Amino acid sequence: MVSVFSSAASAAPPIRIGGLFAVTGPASFLGEPERKTLEMMVRDINARGGINGSRIDLFIYDTQGDATKAVQLATKLIRNDKVVAIIGPSTTGETMAVLNVAEKERVPLVSCAAGIKITQPVRKWIFKTPANDHVAAEKIFSYMSKRKQRKIALLTVSDSYGASGREQLKELAARKGFTLVADEVYSPKDTDMTPQLTKIRGAKPDGIICWGTNPGPAVVTRNVKQLAISIPLYQSHGVASKKYIELSGAAAAEGVILPAGKLAVYDILPKSDRQLKTLREYDQAYRKAFGVEASTFGGYAYDGLLLIVNAIKKSGAAPVSIRNGIEQTRNMVGVSGVFNMSPADHNGLDLSAFEMVRITKGDWVLIR
């Protein structure tokens, strides 16, 4: 267990909330900012008197990105720690493994993973805060259409996130009239993708879409540079953090285009943007607490707790009340977007959740 925030004796009983994050292991770039964000928020909420007079007891476990461990720890959170809601896990694979536990135990789970299969089909007790991968795919295809790039090559990672993205990309490509000229896959542990990229170059696509989370996409980006491939490279929202640029190297990442949550570019958003105030406040608080800028991934945990807190304020702290409250969420401004949940939509985000960005001189530039 990473941490427990224990409440002092008070008139109102504490509200026990759980977190499952890949704090260590290959997906730690996701789980570590999620853990830090959740701890920061709970400290702030408790310092201000809690929720409706009740402090939060926070139980966070490190899944290490392992699906089997995630299931064990989810069970522990529910049966031993008696949590009323869970935020996480960090990855799609872990979340898909944990779904049945939350459903069986009737405890709301707000995932921090992006795979569309987490919430489609809708499961009564399952929600998630990252926008569905098909939303990111639509943003990419819309941009490619404007540039008359109709022939595409896919290079996707062979895990749950990559498989989901590949499925959505292929379905959307067919529906929107794109021609798929290459469809390559790589393993999460691969350290060289030149064979796949050599095949892709031979297929002469108008654009390459890589779908995965680091370090794979960074390897792809370096390999593209090493092979002197001039075909435009698109990445998924799974690399929308400065860590991707750092791992790739600014020179190799120059010109890469991707859909990113607005947190990455909030300082250049129009002043009229509804999310601007929330994004600025979150980033400033995170910088003050930890000395580094906030990441989109930490924002997933921010939104998860915000959904739960708002539900408790409105409906009460019992698991079923929290579930009902989350499902009734309307126009909630978060880090990941403006959430509008419903019985038919347990993600609640649309195309406005993303901005298309280009990496220029080691930083993000908003594409208009």
**Torsion angle of alpha carbons 182, 219, 217, 224, nearest 10°?**
-50
CA–CA gap between residue 147 and residue 155 (Å, rounded): 20
H or E element, residue 73: helix 67-79
Q: Provide the pLDDT for residue 6.
A: 46
CA–CA gap between residue 359 and residue 368 (Å, rounded): 14
Query: Torsions phi, psi of 298, nearest 5?
Result: -60, -30
Report the CATH architecture of 3-131+276-350: 3-Layer(aba) Sandwich (3.40)
pTM of the model: 0.86
The residue behind tokens 């899944």 is: 63
pLDDT tens per residue across span 328-341: 999 999 999 999 99
180 strand-pairing partners: 152
Q: Which positions ≥6 away from 328 have C-beta within 8 Å?
A: 311, 314, 315, 341
Q: For the chain, which residues make up each domain, given as ranges?
A: 3-131+276-350, 133-267+354-366
The pair of structure tokens assigned to 35 is 């853990």
Q: Provide the pLDDT for residue 115.
A: 85
The residue behind tokens 């009902």 is: 324
Homologous superfamily of the 133-267+354-366 domain (CATH):
Response regulator (3.40.50.2300)
**Parallel, antiparallel, or unpaired for β 257-261 and 354-360?**
antiparallel
Q: Provide the pLDDT for residue 11.
A: 64
Query: Do the domains spanning 3-131+276-350 and 133-267+354-366 agree at the CATH topology level?
Result: yes
pLDDT tens per residue across span 283-314: 999 999 999 999 899 999 999 999 999 999 99
**Cα dihedral sign for 73, 74, 76, 77?**
positive
Which stretches of the chain drop beneath a pLDDT of 70?
1-11
Rounded to the nearest angstrom, the gap between the alpha carbon of residue 205 and the centroid of all alpha carbons in its chain is 28
The residue behind tokens 């290959």 is: 26
**Is the link from the previous residue into 121 a cis peptide, with omega within 30 of 0?**
yes
Q: Provide the pLDDT for residue 102.
A: 98
- Edge-to-edge, what's the strand order for the sheet holding 363-366? 179-186, 151-157, 207-211, 233-235, 257-261, 354-360, 363-366
CB 87 within 8 A of CB 98: no
